[in-house]
Every structure is written in structure tokens, then in C-alpha cells.
Amino acid sequence: MRWLTIWVASAIGLTVVTHIHLGITATSIRAILIAALALGLVNTFIKPIVKLLTLPINLLTFGLFGLVVNAFMLWLVSSLVPGFIVNGFGAAFWGAIILSIVSGVVGWIIRYL
């Protein structure tokens, strides 16, 4: 049940991010749902490895480099999912920040309803 909550929260977050016009677009709801699933898989399997490799930089920046890692994960998902497009690293960076906030709030709301 927890995975479903995270997936729905991510899908809602991606929908919000695509409607803010940051340079992130999706051609359909299907693309958003697949991108949310792919983002979950990338965050589960690839993100821990990248965070371990970037640990020294993350320590030097007091954890702020984690924002760059999140942006890279979102950008990676755009290259894997057809119909989900991130136009540049800047769009991925701001989109990842907004996605984190929206997904966190939506996930919190879903859990406590």
C-alpha cells in the first residue's frame, strides 16, 4: 500500500510540475504515470549508488548537492520515458524541488485521510 501512495503522490506531483511551465512537459496522463513509476524505480535502484559516489561533494555542500542528484534523476527519467520531456538541467533542478514539495504534501494528505 505504501508503494501505491508514493506512486500516486509522484504522479500528482509530476502533473503539477508539468502545468507550471518550467520546461517540463508530458504528452499524456499515461506518460506521467509511467514517468512516476520510472522515477520510483530510478530512486530505488540508481539514486543510492549516485548518492554514495557523490558523498564527499554532498558533505562539502552540507547536503545541498542532493538537489543536483534529484534533478539528475528527473532528467534521467525524461530520457527513459517517451512523452515525458525535460528541457535542460535548469528545468530538471526546479522541477525536482517542486516535485519534492508537492509529492511530500500529497503523500502526507493521502496517508492521513
Among residues 84, 93, 106, the alpha carbon closest in space to that of 35 is found at 84
Domain assignments of the chain as residue spans, ordered by start: 2-111
Is residue 2's pLDDT more than 90? no
pLDDT for the residue 112? 87
**Are 55 and 107 in contact, with CB atoms under 8 Å apart?**
no
pLDDT for the residue 72? 96
Question: How far apart are the C-alpha atoms of 59 and 74, rounded to whole Å?
Answer: 22
pLDDT tens profile 56-107: 999 999 999 999 999 999 999 999 999 999 999 999 999 999 999 999 999 8
pTM of the model: 0.93
Mean pLDDT on 27-38:
97
